[in-house]
Amino acid sequence: MIYLDNAATTRVDEQVVQYMNRIMTENFYNPSALYLPAVNVSVMLNEARKNIANSIGAETDEIYFVSSGTEADNIALLRSRIKKNSRVIISETEHSAVYNSALELKQLGYDVVFAPVDRYGVVDINSFQKLLNDNTSLISIIHVNNETGSINNIDALSCTAKAFNKDILVHSDGVQAFGKMNINVRKLDIDMYSMSGHKIHAPKGVGALYIKKGVSVKPMLYGGGQEKNLRSSTENTSGIIGMSTAICSSTLNYTENENNMRKLLQYMAQFITKNIGNAIINTNINKAMPNIISIALRGIRGEVLMHSLEKHNIIIGIGSACSSKKLNNRIPNALGLSKEYRQGMIRISLDTDTSVEDIIYTCDKILIEYNNLAQYMR
């Protein structure tokens, strides 16, 4: 099986599984209990929090463990203490967790506006700046676009916002960036940053939210007071340890393999452009993350092509797994795709062990299946 949907989720690393198994079978104690074995688990939990903090240049007590990147995004937007009816700015191509949270804020009376992006999904700073006003309280801009792999200039956007008003809160969904590039939240000058485990070979069901010291956020869950009262619930210790274990090697692996993955995407972009004349590459390969490419094909449905490739033991994506079950033109529209391309988007996302042979084989099969489907094009 050639798996090319790593932006949706990744296989859990064997070392991560081993550590998690040890936690679940030997160190299974509730870290809130007072007996010694539980205290030892609490120490392990704090060490994991320190590892996550160090990976993004944060302080240990600025990391809050949650169940997912989606929950982290929801907390950042819906639980931040911002002025009622104030302006909230997000980009047009945010992940659905941010987009739908922003729509909820709009229902509550907030002035939600959308920063336009270019054809690759990168926020236009000049257009963004024009959206800032005296009533702006919160900004949320995705770090790496989960559809196209494009990287937003978060530090420039945050600098622009903070220069306008130092009290504006800046959040970034870093799910596709975390563990895949060097991140320093101090240099980015942001107040909140969302992370997820299952994109970096850790398990599903665990994530983290960086909250800058001094930023006030209302509790998401009430109960025993875990995570400094932000999210009461017995900690997912095995998942947290798994995420911590994964991050220790993830960034290094991606850095070592960045050039190789980028060359594979360049080959794919050139092959598709040469052999499918009407294809549109939605990713600026040389400036985006090295593991994601988005392609739009005219007159066919990306979902049909995806299923056609399965018989060749190839798995690709058609965009965010959180929204792919719904017919949604929001992202294609934001990228400026015309009507005949909107349903033809596919996303291919590599991992560090994706081979040249995998990509050559996949390109050949994409061409075969596209030509088969193109016969029915109207």
User: What is the CATH class of 2-8+255-372?
Assistant: alpha beta
Residue 162 CA to residue 36 CA, distance in Å, equals 46
Residue 322: predicted pLDDT: 54
Q: Could you tell me the sign of the dihedral formed by the alpha carbons of 164, 166, 169, 173, in that order?
A: positive
User: Which residues belong to CATH 3.90.1150.10 in the chain?
Assistant: 2-8+255-372
Q: What is the pLDDT of residue 378?
A: 61
pLDDT at 105: 98
Write the DSSP symbol of residue 1: -
DSSP state of 353: T
pLDDT for 320: 55
Residues whose CB is less than 8 angstroms from the CB of residue 295 and which lie 6 or more positions away in sequence, other chains included: 272, 279, 280, 281, 282, 345, 346, 347, 348
Q: What is the pLDDT of residue 47?
A: 97
Q: What was the pLDDT predicted at 203?
A: 97
Regions of the chain short of the pLDDT cut 70: 319-327, 377-378
The whole-number pLDDT of residue 247 equals: 96
**Interhelix angle for 14-25 vs 237-275, to 10°?**
160
Return the bridge partners of 89, or none: 113, 139
Separation CA 123–CA 151 (nearest Å): 9
Instruction: From 222, 179, 201, 149, select the one nearest 51 (Cα to Cα).
Output: 179
pLDDT digits 0-9 by tens, 350-366:
999 999 999 999 999 99
Q: What is the DSSP string of 130-174?
A: HH--TTEEEEE--SB-TTT--B--HHHHHHHHHHH-TT-EEEEE-
DSSP string, 228-270: TTTB-S---HHHHHHHHHHHHHHHHHHHHHHHHHHHHHHHHHH
The 3-state DSSP class for residue 57 equals coil
- List where CATH 3.40.640.10 sits in the chain: 14-248
Q: Which CATH class is domain 14-248?
A: alpha beta
**Can you tell me which residue has the tokens 């996550």?**
52
- pLDDT at residue 252, as a whole number: 82
The residue annotated as part of the active site, out of 159, 248, 322, 363, is: 322
3-state helix, strand, coil in the chain (%, to 5): 40, 15, 45
Is residue 322 annotated as part of the catalytic site, yes or no?
Answer: yes
- Please state, in angstroms and rounded to a whole number, the distance separating the CA atoms of residues 273 and 370: 13
Phi-psi region of 212 (alpha: psi -120 to 50; beta: other; left: phi over 0): beta
**Per-residue pLDDT tens over the stretch 73-125:** 999 999 999 999 999 999 999 999 999 999 999 999 999 999 999 999 999 99
